[in-house]
Amino acid sequence: MGEIKAEPFAFPVKHDQLALIVIDMQRDFAEPGGFGASLGNDVSRISRIVPDVKRLIQGFRYAGLPVIHTMECHRPDLSDLPPAKRNRGNPVLRIGDEGPMGRILVAGEPGTAILPELAPVDGEVVIEKPGKGAFYATGLGEVLQHKGIKQLVFAGVTTEVCVQTTMREANDRGYECLLAEEATESYFPEFKAAAIAMIRAQGAIVGWTAHVDDILESIAHA
């Protein structure tokens, strides 16, 4: 067992039980004209982390470690979309509406796709999730159990919503969780900072946080 330099203290890594989960790096959240932009957000904050997310994905691939991608999306008939989620915040475009990149956050639509720079390769698991957390109404738990995974490195967006929610779900299920700081982002910098503080507070109550370079250095020697 090795260690990854992390906060609030070193992460006790077990490389044979480690996987990367990349949360919702989708066109609708990162590109102009997508759902994120329709809510008035500066999507350039999301696109800026793409190089670091890509480095992290490539590092896991080179090390032969699992990479799992998630996509927030719904069935075309919206049967898995609660009205409370569709109507929240009175957005200009609602989930399921026709947008510049197809129907917003509907499975199979162009805007729902993962950014091409970060696209999954053959053999990598893609989890389509209807909620903010990646365990709710998905097979993620079964996938991790089948692969013998007990430790998770997280990247993706947004830090305080889908990333933190999934980390908390994982923590409750007994997984040890590590967030890659440069490979996650929020539309609101203060929310990212607060989420990181909450995750690693009280002796890593939800999980650890670490820099991408320190994670890559560790897995390079896996």
Strand pairing report for 176-185 and 151-157: parallel
Query: Dihedral through CA 221, CA 6, CA 119, CA 165, nearest 10?
Result: 140
Ramachandran quadrant class, 10 (left: phi over 0; alpha: psi -120 to 50; beta: rest):
beta
| CA–CA separation, 28 and 150 (whole Å) | 31
Respond yes or no: is residue 129 known to be catalytic. yes
Strand pairing report for 208-210 and 67-72: unpaired
Closest among 25, 59, 1 to 176, alpha carbons compared = 1
Of the listed 52, 73, 132, 162, which one is catalytic?
A: 162
Record the tokens describing residue 164, joined without a space: 């933190």
Of the listed 28, 52, 129, 132, which one is catalytic?
A: 129
Of the listed 24, 52, 132, 192, which one is catalytic?
A: 24
Respond yes or no: is residue 73 known to be catalytic. no
Record the tokens describing residue 190, joined without a space: 């203060």
Respond yes or no: is residue 97 known to be catalytic. no
Residue environment code for 39-74, b if the CB has 16+ CB neighbours within 10 A, otherwise e: eebebebbbebbebbbbbbebbeebebbbbbbbbbb
| CA–CA separation, 75 and 69 (whole Å) | 18
| CA–CA separation, 140 and 162 (whole Å) | 14
Catalytic residue ranges = 24, 129, 162
